């Protein structure tokens, strides 16, 4: 095995080896074994003040691609959803809504009832809690439609995303009018919105689009609100429109002002074109499973709140640090935190589900102490967390074309882990790629320092070498090594 820079400097200075060696060794092994192109991690273990934040691999499929850094922006896929839930939490904190309010309360006068009501279940109101726990009765997603180029989905690909087939929304114009899209998709009759209609055609110059394809009834499933759990990208995407209806400002602006800004998350944005121009971006990549890769390219969703948030490892760690207090340090009160981290699912009679049966808090997938043993038995990667306190613990995973991610938080244990990967498998049968985020988190948590194997304090220097200077040399050498390791991370792989 190659001698790492950390080890070399430690030998030269006569210092004890630092814990980062085993962590980096394992991370690079995982980079190779999972066949992912690049990933970032932020891992916080109990009784350690700072998280481990690291980057590995490349930002694209190109052979000369730049190395990923901890300030590279990744699309989070479905891990974006809890951040949409956080926007609802902030509105709860501000007294703008209550979880059990009917969403009709924020829908403007003049909108058709199918914008807030499943007409097959007229006596069943749809609440914010229903939407945030996938029990609204809204359909699972916006369906593909059949055009002259075959099946088309409402995404775009100016750099070849989805390999040129996603011509449904080529300029992303509707990303800035989410209210308009949802109104017209969920409305019976002729559409009212004109913004972006040309960019939503199934084929260039065509007249058939998602507005024409949809009507109010088509937006809803056969299930009444609360009756059953149906994972809904369409429903979580609707949160952006509901926030805009209530606040009168764009969803992106609301999140920047109320969530990301207060935490200093300057590289976290819902729209890629809103990222700082200096922020490096990871390109979604297809892993062919044999060590070769193909750039999927950048793309966007109409229902972007369900999966299009961009962030970096550094910013994700800022979110994780805040969530260790359940958000009460900066974002909201303990009363609101109970919605974010406690079971929120209700059945058709509005009765809260038992903790052991509960799947969701406020958009987060709810783990919780009562589910610990069963979760670990069913998910081998969770064995890394078996000694943690699972009270009010949550997680969420995500996978889109060329992107996979996972975020898990144990607030009562003082631990969290997030991994973002800029590659996904070629098809749904590629279980190694699909499971890569869990594999990486499960393997790297034991490599991070913990209370039993904490790094010892530096020993005093020899009499002729003042201890203060010795400590200074250690600190500066560590910073130098970390910088060099980051620059040469691709070389050691």
Q: CA 178, CA 100: separation in Å to the nearest integer?
A: 23
Q: Which residue has the higher pLDDT, 89 or 176?
A: 89
Q: Kindly indicate the confidence band of residue 348, based on its pLDDT and cuts at 50, 70 and 90.
A: confident
Q: Are residues 126 and 160 in the same domain?
A: yes
Q: Are residues 90 and 209 in the same domain?
A: yes
pLDDT at position 3, please? 38
- pLDDT at residue 5 greater than cutoff 50: no
Q: Are residues 35 and 109 in the same domain?
A: no
In this structure, is residue 65 part of a structural domain?
Answer: yes
* Mean pLDDT to the nearest integer, 129-137: 97
* Mean pLDDT to the nearest integer, 375-391: 95
In this structure, is residue 261 part of a structural domain?
Answer: no
Percent of the chain with pLDDT over 90: 63
Of 204, 232, 256, the position where a domain reaches its end is 256
pLDDT at position 56, please? 97
In this structure, is residue 50 part of a structural domain?
Answer: yes
In this structure, is residue 282 part of a structural domain?
Answer: yes
Give tens-digit pLDDT for 281-314: 999 999 998 889 999 888 888 899 999 999 999 9
Of 223, 256, 289, the position where a domain reaches its end is 256
- pLDDT at residue 466 greater than cutoff 70: no
pLDDT at position 14, please? 35
Q: Which residue has the higher pLDDT, 445 or 7?
A: 445
* Mean pLDDT to the nearest integer, 426-442: 89
Q: Which residue has the higher pLDDT, 126 or 467?
A: 126
Q: Are residues 252 and 305 in the same domain?
A: no
Q: Kindly indicate the confidence band of residue 487, based on its pLDDT and cuts at 50, 70 and 90.
A: very low
- pLDDT at residue 92 greater than cutoff 90: yes
Give tens-digit pLDDT for 23-33: 999 999 999 99
pLDDT at position 159, please? 57
Considering its fold, how many domains does the chain have in total? 2
Q: Are residues 291 and 435 in the same domain?
A: yes
Beta-ladder partners of 55: 40
Q: Which residue has the higher pLDDT, 100 or 7?
A: 100
Give tens-digit pLDDT for 320-344: 999 999 999 999 999 999 999 999 9
* Mean pLDDT to the nearest integer, 149-169: 59
In this structure, is residue 108 part of a structural domain?
Answer: yes
Q: Are residues 362 and 475 in the same domain?
A: yes
- pLDDT at residue 154 greater than cutoff 80: no
Q: Are residues 67 and 149 in the same domain?
A: no
Q: Are residues 320 and 374 in the same domain?
A: yes
- pLDDT at residue 352 greater than cutoff 80: yes
pLDDT at position 451, please? 45
In this structure, is residue 453 part of a structural domain?
Answer: yes
Give tens-digit pLDDT for 210-268: 666 677 788 899 999 999 999 999 999 999 999 999 999 999 999 999 999 999 999 99
Of 256, 289, 323, the position where a domain reaches its end is 256
Structural domain boundaries, residue 174:
81-256
Q: Which residue has the higher pLDDT, 67 or 458?
A: 67
Q: Are residues 68 and 93 in the same domain?
A: no
Q: Are residues 210 and 346 in the same domain?
A: no
Predicted TM-score of the model (pTM): 0.85
Q: Are residues 274 and 247 in the same domain?
A: no
Q: Are residues 55 and 92 in the same domain?
A: no
pLDDT mean across residues, the chain: 84
């Amino acid at each position: 095995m190659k001698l790492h820079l950390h080890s070399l400097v430690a030998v030269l200075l006569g210092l004890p080896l630092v814990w980062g060696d085993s962590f980096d060794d394992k991370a690079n092994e995982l980079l190779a074994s999972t066949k992912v192109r690049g990933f970032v991690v932020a891992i916080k273990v109990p009784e350690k003040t700072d998280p481990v934040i690291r980057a590995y691999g490349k930002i694209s499929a190109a052979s000369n691609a730049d190395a990923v850094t901890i300030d590279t922006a990744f699309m989070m896929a479905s891990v974006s959803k809890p951040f949409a839930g956080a926007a609802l939490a902030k509105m709860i904190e501000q007294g703008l809504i209550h979880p059990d309010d009917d969403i009709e309360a924020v829908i403007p006068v003049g909108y058709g009832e199918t914008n807030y009501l499943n007409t097959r279940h007229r006596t069943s109101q749809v609440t914010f809690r229903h939407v945030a726990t996938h029990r609204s009765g809204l359909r699972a997603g916006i369906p593909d439609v059949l055009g002259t180029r075959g099946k088309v989905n409402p995404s775009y690909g100016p750099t070849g995303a989805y390999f040129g087939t996603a011509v449904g929304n080529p300029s992303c114009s509707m990303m800035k009018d989410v209210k308009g899209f949802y109104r017209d998709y969920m409305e019976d009759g002729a559409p009212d919105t004109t913004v972006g209609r040309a960019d939503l055609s199934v084929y260039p110059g065509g007249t058939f689009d998602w507005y024409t394809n949809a009507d109010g009834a088509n937006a809803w499933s056969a299930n009444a609100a609360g009756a059953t759990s149906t994972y809904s990208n369409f429903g979580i995407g609707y949160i952006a429109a509901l926030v805009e209806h209530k606040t009168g400002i764009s969803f992106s602006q609301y999140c920047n002002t109320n969530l990301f800004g207060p935490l200093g998350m300057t590289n976290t944005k819902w729209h890629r074109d809103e990222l700082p121009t200096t922020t490096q971006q990871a390109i979604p990549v297809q892993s062919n499973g044999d060590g070769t890769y193909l750039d999927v390219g950048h793309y966007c969703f109409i229902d972007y709140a369900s999966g299009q948030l961009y962030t970096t490892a550094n910013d994700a760690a800022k979110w994780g640090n805040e969530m260790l207090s359940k958000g009460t340090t900066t974002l909201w009160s303990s009363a609101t935190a109970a919605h974010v981290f406690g079971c929120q699912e209700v059945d058709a009679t509005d009765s809260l589900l038992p903790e052991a049966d509960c799947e969701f808090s406020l958009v987060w997938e709810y783990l919780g102490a009562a589910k610990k043993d069963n979760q670990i038995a069913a998910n081998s990667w969770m064995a890394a967390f078996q000694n943690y306190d699972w009270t009010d613990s949550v997680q969420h995973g995500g996978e889109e074309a060329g992107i996979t991610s996972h975020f898990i938080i144990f607030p009562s244990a003082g631990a969290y882990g997030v991994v973002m990967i800029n590659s996904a498998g070629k098809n749904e049968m590629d279980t190694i790629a699909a499971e890569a985020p869990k594999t990486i988190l499960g393997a790297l948590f034991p490599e991070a320092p913990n209370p039993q194997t904490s790094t010892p304090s530096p020993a005093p220097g020899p009499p002729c070498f003042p201890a203060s200077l010795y400590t200074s040399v250690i600190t500066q050498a560590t910073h130098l090594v970390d910088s060099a390791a980051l620059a040469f991370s691709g070389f050691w792989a």
